[in-house]
Amino acid sequence: MLMYLKRSLYYLVKLRDRLLYPFVILYILFAAYIALYLEPETFETYLTAIYWVLTTLATVGFGDYAPVTIQGKVFTIFLYISGIGLISVFIGKSIKSVYLLDKLKVGGKMKYTGKNHIILIGWSDKSELAIKEILKSDKTIDVVIIDDWETAPMVEKQLYYIRGDATDEETLYQANLPEAKGVIIFADQITQDNFASKDPLLVDGKTLLIATAITSIEEKINIPIHVTAEVIYQKHIRLFQRVKVDEFIPTQEMISHAAVRSLFSHGVTNMYSELMSSQYEEAMYEIPKHEEWKTYRDAFADLLNQGATLVADRGNLHINRQLDNSIPEDAQLFVICDKETLSKINSVQPQKLPEK
């Protein structure tokens, strides 16, 4: 019996909170109707009566409208006694709701509902640098972090946090994975720091599990999701062949190769930095194929005249030796230029060459 009473009281409390907002709105509308009924000459219109009720309940009292009859003054006293307390509760509940929403957001408990966002899985110094790079490249895009911290590791206007296990599909749905522009999986920093020397598979193994969960969702919704993953050991890349990882962040071996090349070709690391970062004026960008470009030579010459250099088609960096080859329909062309030149290239409407 006692348990039943507790449940009933709990239900009534929850019901009270749910009914508070519509009750306050109905209270204001009904009070305005009574005020207009009692003193139609004072308030003239229903909107004026609503305005008077709101200023009265808010204790503002501009004095531009005031009841003149006995009935109107009695009703005003009733309004003061009953309404001001109700409005105070209403404001308190509103402030509490905003606080709880903010707490849920910072604690990673709110589902992200936006679209075309970027999901970063795993928090580390690299994640923070990636966020800064993303926001430099596009100030309108949202970034969603997935990790298991108690609160959001970083606070930014366009940054959202989901707390959970990224190998769990439910967590990925919380980050609205199906609507995402792409995903970057960073190697787990804690595992990397504490266990990588004992068992290198642990670090890349977790990344592989996350990639597998993403692939599972891709197959369910039948929508491709671009995934970039950090793999610590290059020999493990072959293990990712069965999951749909599109690109890999340079591994330790690749970084070591770049460091060695810098000794034989001074300044090579500066070139890598300039190509990969948006802090420099020129960088590498993807551009669409124009219909008038039949061969790589056509594209190379046209782009050069516009101030850009064609460097690659997907992973093919040898197009300078294939200038007379036809450009395939599914070509993915990359150029080096500044943002102003890129804007000009993208704004040019492709023109068909006249038939010979």
Distances in whole angstroms, Cα of residue 326 to Cα of each of 213, 311, 323, 331, 349: 39, 16, 8, 10, 21
β partners of residue 209: none
Beta 309-313 vs 333-338: how paired, if at all? antiparallel
Confidence of residue 120 (pLDDT cuts 50, 70, 90): very high
Tokens (6 digits) for 39:
């003193």
β partners of residue 146: 121, 162
Name the H helices within 222-295.
252-264, 268-276
**Mean of pLDDT values over 92-107:** 62
CB 249 within 8 A of CB 229: yes
Tokens (6 digits) for 182:
């792409």
Please tell me the distance from the alpha carbon of residue 218 to that of residue 210, in angstroms, as a whole number: 13
Q: What is the pLDDT of residue 346?
A: 83
DSSP classification of residue 111? P
Please tell me the distance from the alpha carbon of residue 352 to that of residue 356, in angstroms, as a whole number: 12
Comparing 99-113, 205-219, 239-253, 286-300, the range with the smallest average pLDDT is 99-113
Q: What is the pLDDT of residue 96?
A: 65
Tokens (6 digits) for 210:
């996350």
* Residues 277-322: tens digit of each pLDDT: 555 556 778 888 888 899 999 999 999 898 888 888 877 777 878 8
Following DSSP, what letter does each residue of 136-173 receive, concatenated? HH-TT--EEEEE--SS-SS--TTEEEEES-TTSHHHHH
Q: How many CA atoms lie within 13 A of 155 on its CB side?
A: 6
Helix axis angle, 252-264 relative to 268-276, nearest 10°? 130
Question: Whole-number mean pLDDT of the chain?
Answer: 79
Confidence of residue 34 (pLDDT cuts 50, 70, 90): very high
DSSP classification of residue 230? E
Please tell me the distance from the alpha carbon of residue 253 to that of residue 339, in angstroms, as a whole number: 32
The pLDDT of residue 3 is above 80: no
pTM metric for this prediction: 0.56
Beta 159-163 vs 143-147: how paired, if at all? parallel
C-beta pairs of 243-246 under 8 Å, 24+ apart in sequence: 243/208, 243/211, 243/212, 243/214, 243/215, 244/211, 244/214, 244/215, 244/218, 245/211
* CB atoms closer than 10 angstroms to residue 124: 19
Residue in the structure block whose two tokens are 């993915």:
332
Confidence of residue 106 (pLDDT cuts 50, 70, 90): low
Q: What is the pLDDT of residue 317?
A: 76
The pLDDT of residue 156 is above 80: no
Q: What is the pLDDT of residue 269?
A: 60
Q: Comparing C-alpha atoms, which of 336, 337, 342, 328 is closest to residue 296?
A: 328
Please tell me the distance from the alpha carbon of residue 241 to that of residue 249, in angstroms, as a whole number: 15
User: Percent of the chain scored above 70 by pLDDT?
Assistant: 76
